[in-house]
Structure 1
């Protein structure tokens, strides 16, 4: 029955999702031209609020749990596991007061209404995975913006999405680059559980329905005085401990 419902609800979800991207593309452009960064960010925040509501069209339930008294006067590096592209709208909306930016593939800066525009002008880093020098330069620019503006970033250190929800080993890479430039940044792990079920049946159609998914902000980690490898291992272990037993195995 769930799969039948998935075939019915997925087209409705995609229609709603796509309309939001088309509607907010000119809104973003206008906000940036008239009000600069602040107005543009508000338009992106509102867009992602509505994108989160598209999950409910599928009958999916999401819980974003943040009981941590996180600072707003200090850059934060949020470190999360990655299960689906649908991980991102809740992170943007619920972490909006921290000005969290993303490191994205440069290919995504073209051809996608609203999303490509935000990636170009939102202040994140757009990297060419085939060009290590360009990637490092982009991440360093992001680190400088974090330092200058007290922004934060969200990093998925598994490298690629885990399509079964099983946790992969965290890589040090981009986190180390940012921490060298922004040593005062606080490390905050986030455990994402269940979003892989969007793709339970296939990569795109139909999507999973009537699933429960959670985003849980875990205890902050103070990196000062610790080796970067130790910090990343601590973050990985915190995320691993917060996931169900079947999703803790590295693959």
Structure 2
């Protein structure tokens, strides 16, 4: 019965998902080319609002918690460092962190072929990297670091490099974080714990797992001064692991 419900609700959500991709592709084109970059940013935020809240069509639950006080936008650069479970990690980060509008590091293959998403990656300021060309990838990430340094903006990166299951995080590679911090050395590094998105689509887009609990939790920031990028990356990973462990054992302290 549950499997049949997964199939039914997956079809419902994916129809909705496809409509949102096409609709907001057109909206983004108009916003960017007629009204400019700021208007385009607003359409991206609302695009991701629709994607996130569409998950309720599957009976799933979405939760956001910020367990720390962050600098206000424009006060200093911020680098959000998150574990990576699913393609659905990103809509949650964009919507829940919309106040900071983080720019993402993304593989270049996603810059074409996906309505709405690919266009935003091309014109929205993301660092598009070719994993086969490490030197060029570092240059692109460094450019993003310079942008957030100059604008006191924010970036988001998945140091695992690829998706992992919720049960076992991959090691954090420090290379991308190193490139960002080299150009934005005063950035605060903020760990973000993502839970449940891997269970939501464990085998791709179909079928999705209905009635899944998904959450995004912002942990206290890390100051990079006096630490190597590798030390910062491992500290961020440990903070995420500790939070995942305490939620599993139900020993997390509420703020």
TM-score over 0.5 (shorter chain)? yes
After the TM superposition, which segments of 4 or more aligned residues of structure 1 sit over 4 Å from their partners?
245-248
Equivalent residues of 1:163, 1:199 under 8 A apart? no
Match of 1:232 in 2: 233
Find the residue that maps to 2:99 and give its secondary structure.
helix
Q: Residue 210 and residue 244 in structure 1: after superposition, are their counterparts in 2 closer, same or farther (change >3 A)?
A: farther
Per-residue CA deviation, residues 213-249 of structure 1 (Å, 9 max, x unaligned), is 111100111111222222111111100011147989x
**Equivalent runs, 1:85-164 vs 2, <5 Å:** 85-164=87-166
Q: Which residue of 2 aligns with 1:10?
A: 10
Q: CA deviation at 1:141?
A: 1.4
Q: Are the structure 2 counterparts of residues 122 and 165 from structure 1 closer, same or farther at C-alpha, using a change threshold of 3 Å?
A: farther
Cα distance in 2 for partners of 1:4, 1:94 equals: 31
Is the partner of 2:147 in helix, strand or coil? Answer: helix
CA contact (8 A) 2:166 2:195 kept: no
Deviations 1:68-117 (A, max 9, x none): 22112111110100000011101001111112011111111111111000
What TM-score results when the alignment is normalised by the length of structure 2? 0.93
* CA RMSD of superposed structures (Å): 1.6
Residue 85 of structure 1 aligns to a residue whose secondary structure is: coil
**Cα contact 2:121–2:128 (8 A) shared by 1:** yes
Q: Contact (CA 8 Å) 2:126, 2:144: kept in 1 or not? A: yes
Q: Give SS of 1:159's match.
A: coil
Match runs of 1:57-96 below 5 Å: 57-71=57-71, 72=73, 73-96=75-98
The 2-side partners of 1:37 and 1:145 are apart by 15
Distance 1:13 1:165 in 2: 26
Work out the number of aligned pairs and report it.
Answer: 247
- Is 1:184 aligned to residue 186 of structure 2? yes
Aligned to 2:253: none
